[in-house]
Structure 1
Amino acid sequence: MVTQIQVGLIGYGVAGRVFHAPLINAVPELKLTKVVERHSEASRQHYPWVEVVKDVDALFHDPAIDLVVIATPNPSHFELAQQALSAGKHVVVDKLITTTSTQAQQLTELAQRTQRILSVYHNRRWDGDFQTVKQVIEQGVLGQLVEYEAHYDRFRNTLKPGAWRETPELGSGILFDMGSHLIDQAQVLFGLPQAITADVRSQREGAKADDYFEIGLDYGNLKVILRAGMLVRERGPHFILHGTEGSFVKYGMDTQEEALRRGLTPSDPDWGLEPQTQWGTLNTQIGSLHFDGQVETMRGCYQAFYENVYQAIAQGAELAVKPQEARNTIRMIELALESHRERCTKPYRTAE
C-alpha cells in the first residue's frame, strides 16, 4: 500500500478552489489535509475531512504535512515559499513562482540546499491542444518550422473592482498572467530565445495594469509571436504554425479550465476531450502525399502535474516543471517589459 503524501493548501480563492484542490484530490497518492482560509471554511463544503486553519504557521509547524501548495496572489509567493522550504516542506507555487527572477533564483537555491522539491503550476503544458501542437512539431509534419504564433485572447471591456490582477502592483496584469503560460509553452518547445521584442499596453479606459501584449521571440530561423488581449470579441486562431512543407491552425481553447469552473473533475468520463469542431487543421505535404484535414486534439490532463509532483517526492522522478524554467519565464517577462519601455530589442540574458 502506498503511503499518502499529506498536502496543505494556502488559499481557497479561485486558484485554490478551482485549479488546485480538485486536481490534488484526483491523485490517490495525495491527501488534502489542511487548508488555510482566513475568513471562511468554504473548502469543507467540498472536502469535509480537511482541517481549516487561519494561519500558515499551522502548516509549516505540522510535521505531518509533506507538501505545501501556495495558491495566493503573486506578490505573496516569495515569502510563503521561502518559509515553507525553510520549514522542510516540499512546495508547489501557483504560477508565477515569484514576481522577479532574482527571487525565483533564491528560491531555487533554497530548494537545493534544503533538498526539497519546488515546482510551479504551469498547467497549460497539459492543455490538449498544446500537447497536439508539440506532437505536430516533434513529428516534423510541417517540415522545418519557420513561424509559431500563439494567442490567449478574451473579451472583457470592463474592469473588475478590487481584483488584484488589475492593480499596478508588480505581478499583476495580463503579461504576468496569461503571458507566463505562453512564454512557458514556448520555452518547452524551443528553449531560450536569442532576443525579445515586446509591445505591452493598457487598452481599456481606466486600466492600471497591462491588458494587451505582443511579444516576439527570436530563435534565428524561427520566429515566435505571443499575443494576448482583453478586447478581442471575435476570436482568431489559438495556434498558427507555418513550416517549409505546410501549416497547422487551431481555434478554440482547452476545455479543462471551463470544466473545473463548472465543478467537474478528472473523474468525469469526457475530461480533457475537445469537440471535433475545435480540432486543428493540418495542410501539408508528407512525402508524395498531400494532406489537408483535421487532426484530433489530444486529451488534456491537468492532473498529470500533480501526479508528477508525487512521483518526484516519493520516487525521485524528474520534475516536469523545474524551478529553473519558471525563473526563466519570469526573466523573459522582465526583458519584455524592458523592451517595451526602451522601445528596442533586448538580447536574452540572466539577471545580474
Structure 2
Amino acid sequence: MPRFAAVGLDHRHVYDLTAGLLAAGAVCVGHDPESSDSRVLAGFRKRFPEVPAVGRDRLLDDPSIDFIVLCSVPRDRAGMAVRAMRCGKDVMVDKPGVTTPDQLVAVEAAVAQTGRIFSIALGRLTSASVQAALAVARSGELGRLVSLTSLAPHRLNRALRPAWFFEREAYGGIINDIGLHSIDQFLAFAEVSDATIAAATIGCFGTAPAGFEDFAEITLRSAAMTGTLRLDWFTPEGLADWGDGRLFVVGTEGTLELRKNLDLEGRPGGDHMFVTDKQRTRYQDCAAWPLTYYRDFLDDVRDRGGRMAEDGRLFSACRLALRCQAAAHRFLPVMS
C-alpha cells in the first residue's frame, strides 16, 4: 500500500485529502506538526489520532514514504512541492498549487526533471455532481455545448481565518485561488487546454481588511464555447451551507443545472442535477456517483500510468488563472 505524509497543516482541506486517500487504500505514516494555525493542527490530530507527529525533514528524507499531501500556506506550496519531488516523492496539493508564474515554471521544471507526480485536488475531480455532469455532457444528450455559467459563492467565516488568508501575496488573489476550480471546470467541459480571456474583474467590496479580494467575474471563450464564472466571499450566515455552488450548461439539444451544495426545494444533501432535453426534464441525485480521483492518484503512484497528466490541462488551468488574475480590472473598496 502506498505510504504518505501530511506536510503543511495550514488549511482544513488537509482533512478531506487525508480521509480520501485513506479510504482509497493509502497509509498515512506521519504529519508535520509545523502549522500557522493551531486549530487546523488540533483538528487533524482529533480526526487522525493514530498518525504520529514527525519533523518535516525526516518525512521528506524517508525513502519509504511515496508521496506527501501538502496544504501549507499557498505561497509556500510550490517550493515545498519542488523540494519533495527532488527528494523522490510524488505530491498531492490543495489548491492553489502555485501563486506566481515563476512558481509555476519551477514546478513544471521539477516534474519534467524528476518524473514525479504533481496533482492539485481540484473541485472537478472531487465533486460527484461535476463528474456526473461531465458524463452527461460527453454523452451527447445536450448536443453541442455552447455556454457554461459557474457560480461559486463562499462563506468568509472571518473569525476562523488565519492572518495569511487576507494577504494577497499569500493566496495569490481570488481568481488564482478559488477561481482555479471554475477555470479548470470550463476547460474540462469545453475539452480544451486553453481559452481566451474576454473579461476579468476583481472587487474588494466587503468589510474585510483593505485590499482583500472578495468578488470576481471572468468571461472565457474557446473556439466553440463561452464561459461566465462568478466567485465571491458573500454567502450569508443564514444559508445552511458554506455556499450555494451552481453550474449551468447550455447545449444545442438540452440544458443542465447543478446545485452542488444544497437544493432549495428541500431535498437533503448536495450534488443535485437537473437535465432538460427534447423529451423530458429529469432530476438525478449524484451523491453516490463514483469518484475515482484518489484511487487514480494511488494507481499512478504505483504504476506511473499517467492518469493525473490529463494532457497537461492542470498546468494550463494554473497558467490561465494567473493570467486572469493579472489582467483583471479592479474595483477599489467604496469608502464611507
- The TM-score bracket by the shorter chain reads 0.7 to 0.9
Structure 2 residue aligned with 1:224: 227
Structure 2 residue aligned with 1:248: 256
Are 1:281 and 2:282 matched, yes or no? no
Q: Secondary structure at the match of 1:180?
A: helix
TM-score by length of 2: 0.82
- Give the superposition deviation at 1:175: 2.0
Counterpart selection for 2:201 from 199, 218, 235: 199
Is there any run of 5+ residues in structure 1 with no aligned partner, and where?
256-273, 344-352
Structure 2 residue aligned with 1:71: 71
Superposed CA deviations along residues 259-288 of structure 1, whole A, max 9, x for unmatched, are xxxxxxxxxxxxxxx848863322221xxx
Q: Secondary structure at the match of 1:103?
A: helix
> Is the Cα–Cα contact under 8 Å of residues 237 and 251 in structure 1 kept in the other structure?
yes
Q: Percent identity?
A: 21
Q: Secondary structure at the match of 2:91?
A: strand
- Give the superposition deviation at 1:84: 0.9
Question: For residue 218 of structure 2, what is the amino acid of its counterpart?
Answer: I
Structure 2 residue aligned with 1:120: 120
> Is the Cα–Cα contact under 8 Å of residues 164 and 172 in structure 1 kept in the other structure?
no
- Give the superposition deviation at 1:145: 1.7
Structure 2 residue aligned with 1:265: none
Structure 1 residue aligned with 2:308: 320
Are 1:306 and 2:299 matched, yes or no? no
Runs of 4+ in 1 over 6 A off after TM superposition: 234-237
Q: Distance in 2 between matches of 1:277 and 1:5?
A: 31
Structure 1 residue aligned with 2:51: 50
Counterpart selection for 2:21 from 9, 20, 24: 24
Aligned length: 315
Superposed CA deviations along residues 276-333 of structure 1, whole A, max 9, x for unmatched, are 8863322221xxxx2123234263555x322112111212322235594332222112
* Cα distance change, pair 316–17 in 1 and its aligned pair in 2 (3 A): closer
Superposed CA deviations along residues 168-227 of structure 1, whole A, max 9, x for unmatched, are 325244323321111111222222344112111111034422111111111133111111
Q: Secondary structure at the match of 1:253?
A: coil
Structure 2 residue aligned with 1:142: 142
Question: For residue 204 of structure 1, what is the amino acid of its counterpart?
Answer: G
Q: Secondary structure at the match of 1:68?
A: strand
> Is the Cα–Cα contact under 8 Å of residues 90 and 116 in structure 2 kept in the other structure?
yes
Choose 129-138 or 97-106, whichever is displaced more.
97-106
Q: Distance in 1 between matches of 2:252 and 2:225?
A: 11
Q: Distance in 2 between matches of 1:77 and 1:22?
A: 20
TM-score by length of 1: 0.79
Question: For residue 295 of structure 2, what is the amino acid of its counterpart?
Answer: E
* Cα distance change, pair 322–60 in 1 and its aligned pair in 2 (3 A): farther
Superposed CA deviations along residues 92-141 of structure 1, whole A, max 9, x for unmatched, are 22222211233223222222322222222224323121112212211122
Could you say what the CA RMSD is over the residues aligned between the two structures, in angstroms? 3.0
Structure 1 residue aligned with 2:281: 292
- Give the superposition deviation at 1:163: 3.8
Are 1:36 and 2:32 matched, yes or no? yes
Superposed CA deviations along residues 221-245 of structure 1, whole A, max 9, x for unmatched, are 3111111112254877701122222
